[in-house]
Amino acid sequence: MTINPRHLKAKNRLPLELGHLRFTQFIKIDNLQNLAPLSDFVHGKVSESLPEHGMLWPIIVCRYENYWRDKIWKVNRDKWGVTNGNQRVHYAKENGYRYIESVEVKSQEERDWINDIIYINPYEYP
């Protein structure tokens, strides 16, 4: 897939200690569904940071069959669920991006492992 301006690409690669989780892919925005509510505060911080600093890390996604909380999966089980990065997806939709860089996890433990290394508190966004 050729990277073009309609692809929201992460500036950073996942650290080496994440081993097999370092693989990233571009997913069509229309094939994603948010699994967490949007926050006006965090969305404001993301919207301020992304134009100047870019997306620092890929979003984290999973498939329905690997998600650990079935009751929250509300829409289409064929779509990718966004476990981390809902605000970045929302920003991408608002700004005409068609694809966003992501990393797939297959368990809550994998998601938590990534979060322990790359999570940025919204108050600390660049």
Reference 58, options 87, 24, 31, 29; nearest CA is 24
13 pLDDT higher than 50? yes
Of 9-13, 17-21, 37-41, 72-76, minimum mean pLDDT range: 72-76
8 Å CB contact between 7 and 26: yes
Residue 35 CB-half CA count within 13 A: 24
51 pLDDT higher than 80? yes
The CATH class that applies to domain 7-124 reads: alpha beta
3 pLDDT higher than 80? no
11 pLDDT higher than 80? yes
Give mean pLDDT, residues 14-40. Answer: 84
> How is residue 65 written in tokens?
């069959």
8 Å CB contact between 35 and 73: yes
pLDDT band at 1; cut points 50, 70, 90? very low
Instruction: State the pTM of this model.
Output: 0.85
The distance in angstroms from the start CA to the end CA of the chain is 29
Whole-number Å distance between alpha carbons of 78 and 8: 22
Give mean pLDDT, residues 54-65. Answer: 90
| Domain spans, the chain | 7-124
